[in-house]
Structure 1
């Protein structure tokens, strides 16, 4: 697999190789804010629904609601016409970011609290740096290695803090919450070139629909569990599909069109504190005390790794390219 540098902004059509129109405006910032708040709420909603829906049924219900909500908006813009190479990227994102991400996160949040899950996924920016080193030929510096070591140490601390025998979490839950970080990192690199040529709504709708197909094996479970769940839980399931999925993934894709992937990735560091606050308010639940230290250590590692990449970008600017992925 090859990819373009997620730290390099790709000009939108007609942008003349410069920054996309509107980049300096407020809309991308508003899109980021909407994404962060809705994604933080998703961690809390998933945790709340863990007693009523299994991981597969919850994934399918959320994605189906999201795809249905996006369909009229996407079709109002006309039928999308991705190239064959773009279709490969869209299908990959749909399977990974919408399918596997949701399945693994939902299973993980049945074992760890919402705040811990949100902290674990923030390892993704470091993983993006690893992918850039592996597939983009970027130099793997000592500072980058130090950042990775710090981030991994933080994850270990979180894992140990949630496996203390109090039934609030376990190491399997930690692993399940790290899988979404991996697929998120891969998907961001794949999505960046797509939103330069296709609308954010089209990319999100197509990928979400692929995610629905990926989760179809749990259709029977979804029907059964919706029948047994209280109406309030079903409404929360619809909320997950319409707001943190249909709206938030679209606003994220829109922001990614106008910002570098690295800059946008940094903003997601705000998701864990937002999640912790929402979890305290709605679930009366907070991560174990030691997990805060692990989260801080992981984020410090991410910061060290990002500084290493930022300095390299200053001394050796990359040349924007088109999507060569397959």
Structure 2
């Protein structure tokens, strides 16, 4: 799953290079394709597809519409490597949100992890002369959408992961319909763009989710979350190996700081879980 996620910004860049798809079109078809696959898997497991729940609706807006559309739009204005690094900083935003909302106690580990991660974000996007401020900012805003999706999902712990995801996906699609009506952007994808959109919908969206859910079942959410670190590493390796983008020392240093910040907050959360189990 982590490897698949790391390819999303690169695939989006290649779709733009094909010249026949917008951010809105890519996002719409991404979730239509993923919805068919995940809906089929959920139905095969004889689990509910839709939850009539305000939290599920909000998750659809934050994690399906906001996250994907804003992220894909932002990738136009930054590098694929930056996009992958910054979008995978969302665990830091989750840590900040749960602390601010009082869902978890604020500790020095949490604060230290967030500060370390923010330093990494600044290193990635704000040090070099050829900064992509608009694109980086949009990707971070998209990451906030995913962080909100994650926090909202904690209120639905009693439901199957497949049901929660399928439901939020179905609730997210109407927001795309509204966006199409407002913008008048009727999807007209053609040519090589279809290959990349199919890839995005199948591999890093539907397949990655199924793999991630299975990983959580086998090793638990805390350990499974560590594999999110693979995403920016994969983006860096593919970009460097294929000569798609130049990799700077600032990006590598930023990745290290962001991963360090995430790991610090993750270990704090793991300790909280252990204490709860001891009770």
Q: Does structure 1 residue 317 correspond to structure 2 residue 276? A: yes
Gaps of 5+ in 2: none
In structure 2, what is the equivalent of residue 70 of structure 1?
38
Paired with 1:290 and 1:319, the residues of 2 have a C-alpha distance of 42
- Equivalent residue for 2:167, pick from 203, 206, 216: 206
Structure 1 counterpart of 2:135, from 173, 176, 181: 173
TM-superposed CA distance for 1:122, in Å, is 2.6
Contact 1:113 1:286 in 2 (8 A): no
Contact 2:82 2:125 in 1 (8 A): no
Q: Is the 8 A contact 1:195 1:256 kept in 2?
A: no
The 3-state SS of whatever aligns with 2:77 is: coil
Structure 2 equivalent of residue 185 of structure 1: 147
Does the alignment pair 1:272 with 2:232? yes
Structure 2-normalised TM-score? 0.84
Give the Å deviation of 1:81. Answer: 6.7
Q: Cα RMSD (Å) of the superposition?
A: 2.8
Unaligned segments of structure 1, at least 5 residues: 1-34, 321-326
For 2:101 and 2:166, the matched residues in 1 are separated by 27
Q: Deviations over 1:105-155 (max 9, x none)?
A: 101211122221111123222222223323454321223212211111111
Q: Distance in 1 between matches of 2:168 and 2:56?
A: 6
1:284 aligned to which of 231, 237, 244: 244
Where is the helix percentage greater, Structure 1 or Structure 2? 2
Q: 1:206 to 1:121 in 2, by over 3 A?
A: same
- Tell me how far apart the structure 2 counterparts of residues 46 and 57 of structure 1 sit (CA, whole Å): 11
Distance in 2 (alpha carbons) for counterparts of 1:319 and 1:209: 39
Determine the structure 2 residue equivalent to 1:299: 259
Cα-to-partner distance string for 1:8-59 (whole Å, 9 max, x where unaligned) = xxxxxxxxxxxxxxxxxxxxxxxxxxx1122122221112112332211111
- Paired residue for 1:251? 211
TM-score under structure 1 length normalisation: 0.73
Q: Secondary structure at the match of 2:187?
A: helix
| Match in the other structure for 1:129 | 95
Q: Pick which of 201-210 and 252-261 moved more.
A: 252-261
CA distance in 2, matches of 1:170, 1:151: 19
Per-residue displacement from partner, 1:149-184 (whole Å, max 9, x unpaired)?
11111111111146x24xxx5111111111232222
